[in-house]
Protein backbone atom coordinates (compact mmCIF):
# COMPACT_ATOMS: atom_id res chain seq x y z
CA UNK A 1 0.00 0.00 0.00
CA UNK A 2 2.77 2.43 0.99
CA UNK A 3 4.74 1.60 -2.15
CA UNK A 4 1.64 2.24 -4.31
CA UNK A 5 1.05 5.58 -2.60
CA UNK A 6 4.65 6.67 -3.23
CA UNK A 7 4.30 5.68 -6.89
CA UNK A 8 1.06 7.66 -7.30
CA UNK A 9 2.60 10.74 -5.70
CA UNK A 10 5.71 10.47 -7.88
CA UNK A 11 3.66 10.15 -11.07
CA UNK A 12 1.46 13.08 -10.15
CA UNK A 13 4.47 15.29 -9.48
CA UNK A 14 6.68 14.26 -12.42
CA UNK A 15 5.08 16.47 -15.11
CA UNK A 16 5.41 19.51 -12.87
CA UNK A 17 9.03 18.71 -12.10
CA UNK A 18 9.72 18.10 -15.80
CA UNK A 19 8.18 21.41 -16.81
CA UNK A 20 10.11 23.23 -14.09
CA UNK A 21 13.36 21.62 -15.22
CA UNK A 22 12.64 22.57 -18.82
CA UNK A 23 11.81 26.12 -17.74
CA UNK A 24 15.23 26.47 -16.11
CA UNK A 25 17.11 24.72 -18.90
CA UNK A 26 19.23 27.20 -20.90
CA UNK A 27 19.15 27.40 -24.70
CA UNK A 28 22.60 26.11 -25.51
CA UNK A 29 22.91 27.75 -28.95
CA UNK A 30 21.95 31.11 -27.47
CA UNK A 31 24.45 30.67 -24.64
CA UNK A 32 27.17 29.95 -27.20
CA UNK A 33 26.17 32.95 -29.33
CA UNK A 34 26.31 35.23 -26.29
CA UNK A 35 29.71 33.89 -25.31
CA UNK A 36 31.17 34.28 -28.79
CA UNK A 37 29.50 37.38 -30.20
CA UNK A 38 28.11 39.67 -27.47
CA UNK A 39 30.17 41.94 -25.26
CA UNK A 40 29.34 42.40 -21.60
CA UNK A 41 27.71 45.77 -22.35
CA UNK A 42 25.28 44.32 -24.93
CA UNK A 43 27.15 45.06 -28.17
CA UNK A 44 26.92 42.34 -30.83
CA UNK A 45 30.15 41.97 -32.80
CA UNK A 46 30.30 41.09 -36.48
CA UNK A 47 33.95 40.45 -37.32
CA UNK A 48 33.41 39.28 -40.90
CA UNK A 49 35.85 41.86 -42.29
CA UNK A 50 38.18 41.71 -39.30
CA UNK A 51 37.05 45.12 -38.04
CA UNK A 52 34.77 44.09 -35.18
CA UNK A 53 31.88 46.24 -36.38
CA UNK A 54 28.36 46.24 -35.01
CA UNK A 55 25.23 46.49 -37.14
CA UNK A 56 21.69 47.37 -36.17
CA UNK A 57 20.73 44.01 -37.67
CA UNK A 58 22.94 42.21 -35.17
CA UNK A 59 21.42 44.14 -32.27
CA UNK A 60 17.91 43.43 -33.58
CA UNK A 61 18.38 39.69 -33.93
CA UNK A 62 20.04 39.44 -30.52
CA UNK A 63 17.06 41.21 -28.96
CA UNK A 64 14.74 38.64 -30.49
CA UNK A 65 16.82 35.66 -29.37
CA UNK A 66 17.20 36.97 -25.82
CA UNK A 67 13.41 37.31 -25.71
CA UNK A 68 12.97 33.73 -26.91
CA UNK A 69 15.45 32.58 -24.25
CA UNK A 70 13.63 34.59 -21.55
CA UNK A 71 16.93 36.37 -20.94
CA UNK A 72 15.62 39.76 -19.84
CA UNK A 73 18.91 40.90 -18.35
CA UNK A 74 20.61 40.45 -21.71
CA UNK A 75 17.67 42.00 -23.57
CA UNK A 76 17.92 45.11 -21.39
CA UNK A 77 21.67 45.41 -22.04
CA UNK A 78 21.32 44.97 -25.80
CA UNK A 79 18.56 47.54 -26.07
CA UNK A 80 20.36 50.04 -23.81
CA UNK A 81 23.53 49.77 -25.91
CA UNK A 82 21.50 50.16 -29.11
CA UNK A 83 19.81 53.35 -27.91
CA UNK A 84 22.96 54.89 -26.46
CA UNK A 85 25.23 54.14 -29.42
CA UNK A 86 23.09 53.70 -32.55
CA UNK A 87 20.25 56.10 -31.65
CA UNK A 88 22.38 58.88 -30.14
CA UNK A 89 20.73 58.28 -26.78
CA UNK A 90 17.37 59.46 -28.11
CA UNK A 91 15.00 56.67 -29.19
CA UNK A 92 12.13 59.13 -29.60
CA UNK A 93 13.87 61.04 -32.36
CA UNK A 94 16.32 58.77 -34.18
CA UNK A 95 16.27 55.47 -36.00
CA UNK A 96 19.30 53.26 -35.30
CA UNK A 97 22.41 53.89 -37.39
CA UNK A 98 23.04 50.69 -39.31
CA UNK A 99 26.82 50.50 -38.86
CA UNK A 100 29.04 51.24 -35.85
CA UNK A 101 32.77 50.68 -35.45
CA UNK A 102 36.19 52.27 -35.30
CA UNK A 103 36.70 55.34 -37.48
CA UNK A 104 39.97 54.79 -39.33
CA UNK A 105 40.95 58.46 -39.34
CA UNK A 106 40.19 59.49 -35.76
CA UNK A 107 40.43 56.08 -34.10
CA UNK A 108 37.11 56.80 -32.38
CA UNK A 109 34.45 54.12 -31.95
CA UNK A 110 31.27 55.65 -33.35
CA UNK A 111 28.49 55.27 -35.93
CA UNK A 112 30.16 54.87 -39.33
CA UNK A 113 26.93 55.32 -41.30
CA UNK A 114 23.89 57.04 -39.81
CA UNK A 115 21.52 55.67 -42.46
CA UNK A 116 19.13 53.19 -40.85
CA UNK A 117 18.37 49.65 -42.07
CA UNK A 118 14.65 48.89 -42.12
CA UNK A 119 15.07 45.14 -41.66
CA UNK A 120 16.79 45.77 -38.33
CA UNK A 121 14.25 48.39 -37.32
CA UNK A 122 11.40 45.96 -38.03
CA UNK A 123 12.87 43.27 -35.78
CA UNK A 124 13.76 45.76 -33.03
CA UNK A 125 10.21 47.11 -32.99
CA UNK A 126 8.72 43.61 -33.07
CA UNK A 127 10.95 42.41 -30.22
CA UNK A 128 10.03 45.46 -28.14
CA UNK A 129 6.32 44.80 -28.68
CA UNK A 130 6.71 41.14 -27.71
CA UNK A 131 8.83 42.05 -24.68
CA UNK A 132 5.99 44.33 -23.65
CA UNK A 133 3.59 41.40 -23.89
CA UNK A 134 5.70 38.58 -22.45
CA UNK A 135 7.34 40.58 -19.65
CA UNK A 136 4.42 42.98 -19.12
CA UNK A 137 6.66 45.97 -19.78
CA UNK A 138 4.81 49.19 -20.62
CA UNK A 139 8.07 51.11 -21.38
CA UNK A 140 9.10 48.56 -24.02
CA UNK A 141 5.65 48.68 -25.62
CA UNK A 142 5.80 52.48 -25.68
CA UNK A 143 9.26 52.37 -27.28
CA UNK A 144 7.95 49.94 -29.92
CA UNK A 145 5.15 52.33 -30.92
CA UNK A 146 7.61 55.22 -31.16
CA UNK A 147 9.93 53.23 -33.39
CA UNK A 148 7.01 52.15 -35.57
CA UNK A 149 5.97 55.77 -36.00
CA UNK A 150 9.48 56.83 -37.00
CA UNK A 151 9.77 53.96 -39.46
CA UNK A 152 6.47 54.90 -41.12
CA UNK A 153 7.64 58.48 -41.53
CA UNK A 154 11.12 57.77 -42.89
CA UNK A 155 11.32 54.27 -44.36
CA UNK A 156 8.03 53.89 -46.21
CA UNK A 157 7.30 55.30 -49.66
CA UNK A 158 4.01 55.59 -51.54
CA UNK A 159 5.00 53.94 -54.84
CA UNK A 160 2.83 54.76 -57.89
CA UNK A 161 0.78 51.78 -58.97
CA UNK A 162 1.45 49.96 -55.68
CA UNK A 163 0.94 52.06 -52.57
CA UNK A 164 2.94 51.79 -49.37
CA UNK A 165 6.26 49.95 -49.65
CA UNK A 166 9.18 49.55 -47.28
CA UNK A 167 12.49 50.99 -48.42
CA UNK A 168 15.70 49.30 -47.24
CA UNK A 169 16.76 52.64 -45.76
CA UNK A 170 15.65 56.27 -45.83
CA UNK A 171 18.43 57.26 -48.23
CA UNK A 172 20.03 55.68 -51.28
CA UNK A 173 17.29 53.41 -52.61
CA UNK A 174 15.28 55.75 -54.82
CA UNK A 175 16.93 55.11 -58.20
CA UNK A 176 15.12 58.10 -59.67
CA UNK A 177 11.79 59.86 -59.17
CA UNK A 178 9.77 56.81 -60.29
CA UNK A 179 11.88 53.71 -59.54
CA UNK A 180 13.25 52.09 -56.38
CA UNK A 181 15.50 49.26 -55.23
CA UNK A 182 13.87 46.92 -52.69
CA UNK A 183 14.87 43.93 -50.59
CA UNK A 184 12.30 41.10 -50.24
CA UNK A 185 14.00 39.67 -47.13
CA UNK A 186 13.41 42.92 -45.23
CA UNK A 187 9.66 42.22 -45.02
CA UNK A 188 8.76 39.11 -42.97
CA UNK A 189 5.01 38.80 -43.46
CA UNK A 190 4.21 37.63 -39.92
CA UNK A 191 5.95 40.65 -38.43
CA UNK A 192 4.16 43.08 -40.74
CA UNK A 193 0.93 41.26 -39.91
CA UNK A 194 1.51 41.98 -36.24
CA UNK A 195 2.19 45.66 -36.90
CA UNK A 196 -1.13 45.92 -38.73
CA UNK A 197 -2.81 44.41 -35.67
CA UNK A 198 -1.34 46.84 -33.13
CA UNK A 199 -1.57 49.85 -35.48
CA UNK A 200 -4.67 49.18 -37.60
CA UNK A 201 -4.92 52.79 -38.77
CA UNK A 202 -1.32 52.82 -40.01
CA UNK A 203 0.16 51.73 -43.35
CA UNK A 204 1.13 48.24 -42.22
CA UNK A 205 -1.88 46.32 -43.51
CA UNK A 206 -1.42 47.73 -46.99
CA UNK A 207 2.32 47.11 -46.79
CA UNK A 208 1.67 43.46 -45.87
CA UNK A 209 -0.47 43.00 -48.99
CA UNK A 210 2.12 44.74 -51.16
CA UNK A 211 4.99 42.68 -49.72
CA UNK A 212 3.15 39.50 -50.67
CA UNK A 213 2.57 40.88 -54.17
CA UNK A 214 6.27 41.75 -54.49
CA UNK A 215 7.24 38.13 -53.77
CA UNK A 216 4.64 36.72 -56.14
CA UNK A 217 5.75 39.03 -58.93
CA UNK A 218 9.52 38.79 -58.57
CA UNK A 219 10.15 35.11 -57.71
CA UNK A 220 10.50 33.28 -61.02
CA UNK A 221 10.38 29.47 -60.72
CA UNK A 222 10.73 29.92 -56.97
CA UNK A 223 14.00 31.88 -57.13
CA UNK A 224 13.68 35.01 -54.99
CA UNK A 225 16.22 37.69 -55.98
CA UNK A 226 18.42 39.23 -53.32
CA UNK A 227 17.31 42.63 -54.58
CA UNK A 228 14.33 43.76 -56.65
CA UNK A 229 13.76 46.93 -58.65
CA UNK A 230 10.39 48.55 -59.22
CA UNK A 231 9.17 51.17 -61.65
CA UNK A 232 5.63 52.18 -62.47
CA UNK A 233 6.30 51.44 -66.14
CA UNK A 234 7.87 47.95 -65.75
CA UNK A 235 6.66 46.73 -62.36
CA UNK A 236 8.85 44.39 -60.29
CA UNK A 237 11.97 42.75 -61.69
CA UNK A 238 15.25 41.31 -60.46
CA UNK A 239 17.51 44.28 -59.88
CA UNK A 240 20.02 44.31 -62.79
CA UNK A 241 22.95 45.22 -60.52
CA UNK A 242 22.21 43.50 -57.21
CA UNK A 243 19.51 40.96 -58.01
CA UNK A 244 21.21 38.54 -60.38
CA UNK A 245 21.30 35.87 -57.67
CA UNK A 246 19.29 34.40 -54.83
CA UNK A 247 21.83 34.16 -52.03
CA UNK A 248 22.81 35.73 -48.71
CA UNK A 249 19.89 38.17 -48.59
CA UNK A 250 16.99 36.13 -49.94
CA UNK A 251 17.80 32.96 -48.00
CA UNK A 252 15.87 34.69 -45.23
CA UNK A 253 12.72 34.88 -47.36
CA UNK A 254 12.44 31.09 -47.33
CA UNK A 255 13.13 31.10 -43.60
CA UNK A 256 10.43 33.69 -42.83
CA UNK A 257 7.89 31.90 -45.03
CA UNK A 258 8.46 28.46 -43.48
CA UNK A 259 8.07 29.86 -39.96
CA UNK A 260 4.70 31.46 -40.74
CA UNK A 261 1.53 30.10 -39.18
CA UNK A 262 0.03 27.96 -41.93
CA UNK A 263 -3.39 29.42 -41.13
CA UNK A 264 -2.13 32.76 -42.44
CA UNK A 265 -3.55 33.08 -46.00
CA UNK A 266 -0.14 34.33 -47.17
CA UNK A 267 1.39 30.92 -46.47
CA UNK A 268 -0.60 29.21 -49.22
CA UNK A 269 -0.52 32.23 -51.50
CA UNK A 270 3.29 32.13 -51.49
CA UNK A 271 3.75 28.36 -51.47
CA UNK A 272 4.03 28.07 -55.29
CA UNK A 273 6.90 30.55 -55.27
CA UNK A 274 8.61 29.12 -52.20
CA UNK A 275 8.48 25.38 -52.94
CA UNK A 276 9.98 25.11 -56.43
CA UNK A 277 13.70 25.18 -55.54
CA UNK A 278 15.12 21.75 -56.34
CA UNK A 279 18.47 22.70 -54.78
CA UNK A 280 16.78 23.09 -51.39
CA UNK A 281 15.49 19.54 -51.19
CA UNK A 282 17.07 17.50 -48.35
CA UNK A 283 18.39 14.95 -50.87
CA UNK A 284 19.87 17.50 -53.26
CA UNK A 285 23.43 17.35 -51.90
CA UNK A 286 25.43 20.44 -51.02
CA UNK A 287 23.52 23.70 -50.90
CA UNK A 288 24.69 26.28 -53.44
CA UNK A 289 25.91 29.67 -52.31
CA UNK A 290 24.09 31.36 -55.19
CA UNK A 291 21.21 30.50 -57.54
CA UNK A 292 20.86 32.54 -60.71
CA UNK A 293 17.59 34.42 -61.10
CA UNK A 294 18.05 34.05 -64.86
CA UNK A 295 17.75 30.31 -65.38
CA UNK A 296 18.39 28.82 -61.94
CA UNK A 297 22.01 27.73 -62.37
CA UNK A 298 23.92 27.16 -59.10
CA UNK A 299 27.27 28.55 -58.00
CA UNK A 300 29.55 27.88 -55.05
CA UNK A 301 28.94 26.08 -51.76
CA UNK A 302 26.78 27.74 -49.11
CA UNK A 303 27.96 28.31 -45.54
CA UNK A 304 26.39 26.06 -42.92
CA UNK A 305 24.19 28.95 -41.83
CA UNK A 306 22.13 28.34 -44.97
CA UNK A 307 21.44 24.82 -43.71
CA UNK A 308 20.13 26.33 -40.48
CA UNK A 309 18.03 28.88 -42.36
CA UNK A 310 16.41 26.09 -44.39
CA UNK A 311 15.72 23.83 -41.40
CA UNK A 312 12.10 25.13 -41.06
CA UNK A 313 11.63 25.01 -44.85
CA UNK A 314 12.75 21.38 -45.06
CA UNK A 315 10.60 20.43 -42.10
CA UNK A 316 7.46 22.13 -43.45
CA UNK A 317 7.78 20.75 -46.99
CA UNK A 318 9.55 17.41 -46.46
CA UNK A 319 9.26 16.61 -42.72
CA UNK A 320 13.05 16.44 -42.66
CA UNK A 321 15.13 17.17 -39.56
CA UNK A 322 18.90 17.45 -39.65
CA UNK A 323 20.56 14.58 -37.81
CA UNK A 324 23.46 16.83 -36.80
CA UNK A 325 23.03 20.52 -36.03
CA UNK A 326 25.95 22.80 -36.97
CA UNK A 327 27.46 24.46 -33.92
CA UNK A 328 27.84 28.13 -33.05
CA UNK A 329 31.58 28.61 -33.48
CA UNK A 330 33.85 31.38 -32.11
CA UNK A 331 34.97 32.76 -35.46
CA UNK A 332 33.77 35.48 -37.82
CA UNK A 333 30.52 33.62 -38.60
CA UNK A 334 28.03 36.00 -37.05
CA UNK A 335 25.54 35.81 -39.94
CA UNK A 336 25.60 32.03 -40.19
CA UNK A 337 25.09 31.88 -36.43
CA UNK A 338 21.95 34.00 -36.41
CA UNK A 339 20.48 31.95 -39.25
CA UNK A 340 21.06 28.81 -37.18
CA UNK A 341 19.42 30.36 -34.13
CA UNK A 342 16.34 31.27 -36.13
CA UNK A 343 16.06 27.98 -38.00
CA UNK A 344 16.85 25.45 -35.31
CA UNK A 345 15.16 27.49 -32.61
CA UNK A 346 11.90 27.31 -34.56
CA UNK A 347 12.26 23.62 -35.47
CA UNK A 348 12.94 22.80 -31.81
CA UNK A 349 9.73 24.57 -30.81
CA UNK A 350 11.40 27.38 -28.88
CA UNK A 351 9.14 29.94 -30.53
CA UNK A 352 6.26 30.17 -32.97
CA UNK A 353 4.40 32.88 -34.82
CA UNK A 354 0.61 32.87 -34.77
CA UNK A 355 -1.77 33.86 -37.55
CA UNK A 356 -1.93 37.46 -36.35
CA UNK A 357 1.87 37.61 -36.14
CA UNK A 358 2.04 37.44 -32.36
CA UNK A 359 4.78 35.38 -30.75
CA UNK A 360 4.75 32.62 -28.20
CA UNK A 361 7.86 31.04 -26.77
CA UNK A 362 8.55 27.69 -25.19
CA UNK A 363 9.94 29.30 -22.06
CA UNK A 364 7.03 31.71 -21.60
CA UNK A 365 4.57 28.83 -21.86
CA UNK A 366 6.37 26.65 -19.32
CA UNK A 367 7.24 29.41 -16.90
CA UNK A 368 3.97 31.32 -16.90
CA UNK A 369 2.23 28.94 -14.48
Q: Are 315 and 321 in contact (CB under 8 A)?
A: yes
Q: Are 315 and 285 in contact (CB under 8 A)?
A: no
- The whole-angstrom separation of Cα 171 and Cα 42 is 28
- The whole-angstrom separation of Cα 15 and Cα 21 is 10
Helix, strand, or coil (residue 258)? helix
Q: For strands 290-292 and 359-361, give the pairing.
A: unpaired
User: What strands lie across the sheet with 54-55, from one edge to the other?
Assistant: 54-55, 99-102, 109-113
- The whole-angstrom separation of Cα 206 and Cα 108 is 42
Pick left, alpha or beta for residue 199 (phi over 0 → left; psi -120 to 50 → alpha; otherwise beta): beta
Residue 88: which residues within 8 A CB-CB, separation 6 or more?
94
- The whole-angstrom separation of Cα 82 and Cα 97 is 9
Please state the φ and ψ torsions of residue 84, each to the nearest 5 degrees: -70, -30
Catalytic center residues = 57, 119
Instruction: List the Cα angle 19/20/21 in 5-degree steps.
Output: 90
Torsion of CA 342, 344, 346, 351, to 10 degrees: -80
Helix, strand, or coil (residue 133)? helix
Query: Beta partners for 350?
Result: none
Pick left, alpha or beta for residue 361 (phi over 0 → left; psi -120 to 50 → alpha; otherwise beta): beta
Amino acid sequence: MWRMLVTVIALSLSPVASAADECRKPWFMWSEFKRNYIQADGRVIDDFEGKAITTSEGQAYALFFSLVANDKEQFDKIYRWTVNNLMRGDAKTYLPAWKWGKDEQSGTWMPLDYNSASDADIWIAYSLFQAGEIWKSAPYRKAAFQLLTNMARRELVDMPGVGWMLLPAPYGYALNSSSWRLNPSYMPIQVLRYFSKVNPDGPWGELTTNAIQLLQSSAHHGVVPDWVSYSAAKGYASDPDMGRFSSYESIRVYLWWAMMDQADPAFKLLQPQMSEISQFRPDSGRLPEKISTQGGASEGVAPDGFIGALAPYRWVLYKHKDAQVPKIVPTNQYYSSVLKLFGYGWVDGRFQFHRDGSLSTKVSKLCSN
